[in-house]
């Protein structure tokens, strides 16, 4: 049985929850959308910050914080953006760091997106 996490994030039009908890593990995928549901402007830095803000918000709504993260999968469309993503990620996540992977993809469902993060956390 899964339990949805109630957040203040934009209500997705797709049939999904921003996060669910099952067996004490939080499962979430976060994208760089603001309160209006639009992908934020400003390139990889703005999009990464928004994605990390959405992730932190989701964890807090679930009763945790960034220290609860166990694994983060980072997807970007351009390899050269990883340095920026790493710099910003280090502002949000501290040691002991969760397990992590970075994957270069050809694109996302929303063409203007440059980054997406899938995360798991012990709750």
State the Cα angle at 25 between 76 and 47, rounded to 5°. Answer: 25
The pLDDT of residue 28: 98
| pLDDT for position 48 | 98
**Residues with pLDDT less than 70, the chain:** none
What's the topology of domain 3-122? 60s Ribosomal Protein L30; Chain: A; (3.30.1330)
For residue 115, the cross-strand partners are 76
SS (H, E, C) 4-65: ECCCCCCCCCCCCCCEEEECCEEEEEECCECCCCCECCCHHHHHHHHHHHHHHHHHHHCCCC
Domain residue spans of the chain:
3-122
**Three-state SS at 113:** coil
pLDDT of 91 reads: 98
Condensed to tens digits (0 to 9), the pLDDT of residues 44-78 reads 999 999 999 999 999 999 999 999 999 999 999 99
d(CA 13, CA 92): 28
Position 68 scores a pLDDT of 98
Given a contact cutoff of 8 angstroms between Cβ atoms, the answer to whether 117 and 30 are in contact is: yes
């Amino acid at each position: 049985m899964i339990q949805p996490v109630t957040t203040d994030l934009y209500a997705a039009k797709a049939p999904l929850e921003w996060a669910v908890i099952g067996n004490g593990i939080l499962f979430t995928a976060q994208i760089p959308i603001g309160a209006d549901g639009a992908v934020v402007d400003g390139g990889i830095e703005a999009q990464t910050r928004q994605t990390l803000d959405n992730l932190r918000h989701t964890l807090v709504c679930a009763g945790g914080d960034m220290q609860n993260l166990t694994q983060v999968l980072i997807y970007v469309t351009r390899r050269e953006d990883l340095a920026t993503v790493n710099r910003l990620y280090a502002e949000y996540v501290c040691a002991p760091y969760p397990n992590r992977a970075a994957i270069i993809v050809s694109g996302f469902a929303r063409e203007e997106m440059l980054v997406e993060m899938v995360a798991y956390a012990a709750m």
